[in-house]
Structure 1
Amino acid sequence: MKFVFDHNNINVLDLEKSLAFYQKALGLKEIRRHESDSFTLVYLGDGVHAHQLELTWLKDRNEPYELGDNESHIAFTVDNFEAAHALHEKMGCICFENPEMGIYFIHDPDDYWLEIIPSRS
């Protein structure tokens, strides 16, 4: 028996705002969508890996999600760390930097943290 990663899920308050953020900040594109009366699921991909990020939008939700201490995160590697940092700085979404480790974090419109790591090739 072998298990393989398929996707991660996060809930978002404003689907269009989140889609725009993930497109601009990380270049993710919508792969597929499932709509129902009460929710919408949008799967995003990077065009390279099969792994996807699922955004869940609950149509009747109006209050922000409680993220606790926000210790969980999703990590992305990037081939041009300096250009990515400049883009995220311009977007105003950098929320924490760790120069000693050579990484930084950005946060999305719902305050989920996303780790940015330089490619180590």
Structure 2
Amino acid sequence: MQVIADLHGRVVDVGDPVNGARHDAAAFNISGIAERWAGHMAEDGPGMLADCGYQGAGPTTPYKKPPGGDLTDVRKTCNYKINRLRAAVERAIAHLKNWKILKTGYHRIMTDFPDVLRTVTGLEIFRATAVGFE
């Protein structure tokens, strides 16, 4: 499941489900998220942030440790700052997983899952927005 979240930990968008075990970068493209959010990739600024599984897919990712070496202090600092910002996405994913239908595992007709995921995403976005207006 590919999730776009803001820096406040609120779900903004979820990609279409991708069948099978896929690498994060492949699922990013197949799910439709890459195409829908192409204007938010890191060209002139941080744009979209992701973990190391998305290297080469467009979003800004932490630096990987070079083979047989260590990261420079500057790169370690960059990774620390990127990962602190990415924590908001992990909170957003946790909020989605609090919905019982996603928490316990989806055990229904798989062709209905995209609709269920879109419904849960819409409800979570509404919930997060409504909480902000209290």
TM score, norm. by length of structure 2: 0.24
Larger of the two Rg values belongs to structure:
2
More strand by share: 1
Q: Highest relative contact order (Cα 8 Å, sep 6+), 1 or 2?
A: 2
State TM-score, norm by structure 1. 0.26
